[in-house]
Every structure is written in C-alpha cells, then in structure tokens.
Structure 1
C-alpha cells in the first residue's frame, strides 16, 4: 500500500540478486490499512503473479491471504497458476481475515460488497478451506465436498501446482482457535512481532495443540514479521535477536514505503549480516 508497482518491482528484482534474502512477500488488503485511506493498494495475487514472472530465485507469497475474499476453490486455482508462473517458488499464505475491531480493515468488506462474519465462523471456514485447497492440489479425480461453509460438486484443479503435492502452507494469526487450525494444516506459522513474551507464549500454545493431535511441533516452522526502522537499524537487529532466541527460525522484515534506493542490499548488510542468523530472512 501507498507505493507504486515500479517501486515494488525495483525492490523485488534487487532482492532477487541478494542471496541473503530468501523470500519476498506481499499482503492481502483491498484498501490501505495505514497512511492515506484513499491511497493505492494493489490486489495481492495479481501483483504476486506479475512479480513471479520478473524474478527467478526468491520464494514468494502473500502474507497472508484473507480467506474471506475469495472462494477457496478459486483461490486454489489462483495459487496453482502463480506456482506455475514462479516455476515452483510459491509459499501459500492464508489466514482467517481481519477482525472486526480494525475499522480500516473492516471498511474494505463494505466497499467491495463482501460479507463479514464473526471471527469464530471465519476460523472454522479457514479450517475447511485448507482441507479443500490441499485436496484440489493433490487429487487427480473430481470430488464433491459438503461442509458447514463450503459445498463443491465435481471440484478439480488442473493444472496442478508445480510443487507436489502442493506449495508449503503458511498460516498467519495468533488466536487459540486459529493456532489449532495451524497445528492441523500449516507447514509454517507466522505471527506479527511486538511483545516477544506474548509471541513466545503463542508459540508454546501451538506446541500444545500439535501434541494434542500427535504432531511433532518441530515439524512446524515458526515465522515472525518484524517492522524495519531505516533510522534505527539497531532496534530491528535487537528484535531479530529476541525472535531467534524465542525459537523463530524464519524472520520476515517489513519495509516501510517509500523504499530507499538499494534497500535490499542495505537489509542484507545492516540487518541480515549483523543479526543472529536464523534459517531464513525475508
């Protein structure tokens, strides 16, 4: 949001040539949720497909897709298309959608004629969506699905994603109910940073949810989104160190617009190389 396509393309193509940066991400809002409420906000999956065609190395995704915006079977096909364009570099991010307490996020539903249900219902719908999407990617024969929120007849997805049985699934959020969904479906769990003690407690709760269903918590990568300060990089490095110490092995560094010239190289030199080294920085 609040940035043009060519500025985003500049940063992504630069990052594609910086090996210290492993992933690149967009977000999924239809209107700005910060800054000028009338400013630009690109549709995430359309933009992701364009950037996939202009990059060669970076893994890429939307952090995270709102399950409220698109029917899950349509989203499965969109993701399969982007994975094809990216030649198997998609990480599939998805979440329940914004809570009603965020007025700038809430207005995008009303402005686009989208229904807005309570958070309990949206988490339940996310659980079904993850089941349906994985089946569409993996199964070769059409199938029917009759759920509480999703009903499909003769559903299939062709072409399949390049990655089989499908791209890694990244589920974002922090509520206990959503963490149960992550324990069942996610390869990666992402949470916004901030209070590191609270984030660590959420990670411990995710461990317990995994144990309840017999899943090894170590099979679920912990990912955290941290804002970048251009003026005070030491504060960002400190936050990265705290996250690594708390067990987060994938760190997503959020760059505020406007993007300085050479910002991807600056991130590698000032943040990645001078911070404790997790397994991936984005």
Structure 2
C-alpha cells in the first residue's frame, strides 16, 4: 500500500491559534518532514477558500500557491491536491499552472480534479453555483483540455462550457515527456468523487487514479460501477489505481484516542464553533474507519487493500500542533502494509 499525507492549510480549522506569520513555517516543517520520511509517497492540500464545517475568518491558504511553494522547498515527495475544483480556474490556465509547478518540482505533481461542491464559497467568490450536471460537464471538458495540453503542447476544444483554440502549454510538464510518467495524461490525473452515472464514467475515460468512498461496502460498490464504465468505454480497469481518504485519530489505547478527540473538539471551540457543533464534528469523526489503535487501523486498511484500495491519503487533525499521532502511524501501521 502507498501512503499520502495532508499538510494542514487551515481549511479544516487546523491552524487555529497559530499566528498568520508562522503558519507557512508550520506547513513547511510538516511537508519537509514527510519529504525526508520515505514511507510517505505524497503530500496533499485541499482546494478551498472558506473553512469547514462552517465559513469563518480562520486562514485557508490557497492550494496552487501552496503547491508552487512546496515544489520549490521539497525534493522527493510527490505533490497533490484532493481535489482542485475545475470551475474555480479556466482549465487551459489551470493546465498551464500545473505544468509549471510540475517543472519546478522536477516532475512530482499529481493532478486531483473534481466538479466542486462547497456552495458557500462558490457564491461568495462570484462563481454562481451551477446544477450538478453542469459542474460535471465542465469537469469532462476540462480534463480533455488537460490531456491535450499535457500530451501535445496545445489544446483546442469547442465545448458547451469551455472554448479554447490552440492554447499553448509550454514548457510541457516533465511527466510523460522527459520523465517516465503517465502515458495516458502527462501529469497523473486523479478523478475525485463517486458519482455513479457521470463522475465514475469520466474516471473510466481519463483517470490514472480514482478517489472515492473508503468504507468497505461503499468502496466495493463504486469499484464495481467503475469496472462497468471501463468495459463500456474500452479502458483498462486494472490500470486505474483506486485510492481513498482517511481521517486518522490514532492512540496506543482507547484512552489516548479519546484524548486526541478531546483536543480536536477544543480547537473547534477555539475557532468559534459552539460546544454542541464542535461535539457534533467529533462524534462524526469517532465513527470513521481510521479511528482507533494501530492494530485496529492496520486491520481495517489491510481489509481495504484486499478489496483493491492500494493508496491511502491520510489526514491528522492535530498535525500542526502534535506529530506524535503521525509518528505512531509511521512506526506501527505503515510498515505492516508497505512490506
């Protein structure tokens, strides 16, 4: 199994209490820590502008600005976003941005892409909030522009939502050109989301990786539907790496797990959530599959690996304040699954 690690950037209220001028240093320290620890294959950020579970004045650092900064300050670990919203930037421009970051990083970009969902920030930033069908149509047209741009150096599409006419993308991304990379897309494309009629069909057509439901039943269902779409469009199901995201709260025993959950609740309250809202968030987190002891989490991930989930992207809510949970995961979970 392969492992990725989210770097806190504020979106999930995970930089609360850290002064603005110190936040990048905290993020960079964690990124460089992962870069030096070969058990981590990749580091990740989110593409959002407003915090969750509710909008607030807490910092949320912009994804592709952070990607460029990480490209120049790390040297080994791969760099991804889970996931970029197609409609927040014109796709030809975004293809150019990603190609530039790929060159800066020496060919380490992973392109996570999705249709977008966070209505509050869509409307606040003046993007409107199109119906789901339109957002998915934009996603399909956009990934076609990406593929053309990254594999041929230009893109032309007279689409319903996007029109480009010989949009040049030079320099080309290093992946798929100078380096051994994805022959399919240039920069590896992660199609995120589990929409069964459209998103998974787009994944069957374009994805090098998918990212959807990490529960056993949900993962198996989405995988089977992806397989059916692959058969329909004539693509190789087995060539698509299937990943899932996991919120990890790990402790040597139940008491330590509860202690970490209490710390997460306190930070939500510090950010301005009511005690009831903060408790609701923690109660939801407590039911998730990667919450428990190393043995419990290892067993869960091993079972998911048997189902075909071979890339786990992990998020530790306390990472900006305390890396002991990450260390425990590195020492007792990853070695059991990477070997």
TM over 0.5: yes
Is the aligned partner of 1:148 residue 2:160? yes
Displacement of 1:5 in angstroms is 2.1
Displacement of 1:258 in angstroms is 4.4
Once the two structures are superposed, residues 87-137 of structure 1 have per-residue CA deviations (whole angstroms, 9 ceiling, x without a partner) of 001111101111xxxxxx211112211121011111111111111111111
Once structures 1 and 2 are overlaid, which stretch shifts more, 179-188 or 119-128? 119-128
Q: SS of the residue aligned with 1:257?
A: coil
CA RMSD of the aligned region, Å? 1.8
Residue aligning to 2:209:
188
CA distance in 1: counterparts of 2:96 and 2:223, whole angstroms: 31
Within the candidate set 142, 154, 159, 1:129 is matched to 142
Bigger Rg, structure 1 or 2 = 2
Where does structure 1 lack aligned partners over 5 or more consecutive residues? 99-104
Displacement of 1:190 in angstroms is 0.8
CA distance in 2: counterparts of 1:175 and 1:58, whole angstroms: 30
Q: SS of the residue aligned with 2:69?
A: helix
Residue aligning to 2:28:
9
CA distance in 1: counterparts of 2:141 and 2:234, whole angstroms: 20
Pairs aligned (count): 269
Residue aligning to 1:158:
170
Once structures 1 and 2 are overlaid, which stretch shifts more, 26-35 or 210-219? 26-35
Counterparts of 1:252-267 in structure 2 under 5 Å?
Answer: 252-259=313-320, 260-261=322-323, 264-267=326-329
CA distance in 1: counterparts of 2:170 and 2:98, whole angstroms: 12
Which runs of structure 1 show a deviation greater than 4 angstroms over 4 or more consecutive aligned residues? Answer: none
Residues 68 and 122 of structure 1 are in contact (CA less than 8 Å); yes or no, is this contact kept in structure 2? yes
CA distance in 2: counterparts of 1:261 and 1:271, whole angstroms: 15
Displacement of 1:84 in angstroms is 0.9
Where does structure 2 lack aligned partners over 5 or more consecutive residues? 1-9, 16-22, 178-185, 251-256, 258-291
Point out the structure with the larger helix share: 2
Within the candidate set 217, 231, 236, 2:237 is matched to 217
Residue aligning to 1:109:
122
Within the candidate set 53, 58, 61, 2:72 is matched to 53
* Cα gap change, 1:144 to 1:150, in 2 (>3 Å): same
Residues 92 and 155 of structure 2 are in contact (CA less than 8 Å); yes or no, is this contact kept in structure 1? no
Residues 15 and 21 of structure 1 are in contact (CA less than 8 Å); yes or no, is this contact kept in structure 2? yes
